[in-house]
Amino acid sequence: MTSNRQLALHATLPERYDRFDLLASTIDHAGRLLALLVDPAQDEASDLPWRRQGPWSPPIPRFDATAVICDGDDVHEIPLHGLNQWFSEIDALGEGVILGAPRIPLADYGRAEHQSTPATEVPLIRNVQAFGGDGNPLGAFYAGDGIEQLLTDPSGRIWISYFDEASYRFVDSDGMWSCSSMPGLARWDDRRPNVENRPLAPWYRRRNHQPKGTLVMSTSISDLDRLVGTWRVSGGADGTTTYAWLDGRAFLSQRVDMDRDGHHITGLEIIGHERPFDGETSEAVTSRFYSSDGETLDYEYELDGDVLTIWGGRKGSPAYCRTTFSADGNTLSGAWVWPGGGYEATMTRVGG
C-alpha cells in the first residue's frame, strides 16, 4: 500500500514577469528555475512566430530576450540580444545559459536530392547557443534538427534527445552531405579533451554513432578575470607576473618580471578582443607582448573549464602554454611546449 503524497509547488516566476511571453523553462540540476522571456512590447514582437495569427516561415526577425534564473528569492537576469531562432529549450551552463532551437530551416536534409550536394554549398545553422552570465555569446554549434529536449548535468555536459523525425547532417570523406536519421540521444562535451586535446564529438547511444560535429566554445575576455592579481612564477622561469584590468575592463594587462636561463626579462602584454576600424569584435581573445628585448609576440588565450591554454601565435600552434587552475583558483600548474623544447611552470597567487 502506498502512502498519499501531495505535490508541492517548487518555484514560480515573480509576478513582474506576467506580461512577458514564455519561450522556454526548466528546473536545472541545482533545483533552480530557469525561464526564457520575451517582452511583447519590443518593436519586432508583432512579427515573431509565436505572436502571429496564421502561418509563418523563416527567417525570424531578430529580437531581444531575458533569461531569468530563480534560486529561492534570489533572481538573476541575463539580457540576450539579437536572437533569431525560436528557442524553446533552456538550461544552465556554468554561470550562464544554453538555448536550443528544436527545428531549423532545411530540416529535410535527408531527402535524396540533397545527398549529392557539396557540403560547402549548404551551411549548417548553429541551433544551440551558449551565453555567459553577462549575456555575452560564448559559442554555438549545429546539433541537428528535431530536438526533443536539452539539458545539462553538473559536469557541464550537454545532453540532447531527439524525436522520431529528427536528422543529423555530417560530411562524408568525399565532401558530400550524409544524413543520420532518428539519432536518439546525444551527449556534447567540451570539458573532456581527447588525446589530441580537441573537444569530443557527440556520443550517440543509438548504434554508438559518432558524427563529426563538435561543440566549440570561445573564450570571452571576462572569463580571464580569475587571472587578476600578482603571481609567483617558479619552475623553468622564476619571477612575478601581475594581471590587471585596464579602465573599462575591455582589456587585461600583464606585467612580467622574471629570469629564465640566466636572462632577465620584463615586459607588458595587452589582452582582449580585437576590434578594428570596421567595428567587428573578434571571437578569439588575443594579445601582444612587448618585451624589454624589443620583441613583439602575439598570443591567443583559450580557457576551457579550469584549463588555460596560451597559444603562441594562433590557436593550434605547436608552441603553447597549457596550465590548470587548482580547486581554490590560487595555483596554475602546467608547462610551456614548443618544437624541440619546453619547460614546466607553476604560478602561485601572492596578491589580489
Which tens digits make up the pLDDT trace of 230-247?
Answer: 999 999 999 999 999 998
Instruction: For residues 101-105, give the mean pLDDT.
Output: 83
β pairing state of 96-100 and 128-131: antiparallel
Q: For the segment 318-341, what is each residue's pLDDT rounded down to a tens digit?
A: 999 999 999 888 999 999 999 999
Say which residue, 186 or 122, is predicted with more confidence.
186
pLDDT tens for each residue of 297-309: 999 999 877 889 9
34-63 per-position pLDDT tens digit: 999 999 888 767 778 887 766 667 778 889
Q: 77-102: b or e for each residue (b if 16 or more CB lie within 10 Å)? A: ebebeebebbbbbbbbbbebbbbbbb
| SS3 label, residue 226 | helix
| pLDDT classification of 289: cutoffs 50, 70, 90 | very high
pTM of the model: 0.56
Q: Which residue has the higher pLDDT, 164 or 196?
A: 164
Among 100-109, 139-148, 176-185, 189-198, which is the least confidently predicted range?
189-198
Q: pLDDT tens digit string along 4-30?
A: 777 777 788 999 999 999 999 999 999
Q: Could you tell me the pLDDT band of residue 94, with boundaries at 50, 70 and 90?
A: confident
Which of 190-194, 260-264, 319-323 is the least confident region? 190-194
The whole-angstrom separation of Cα 210 and Cα 119 is: 18
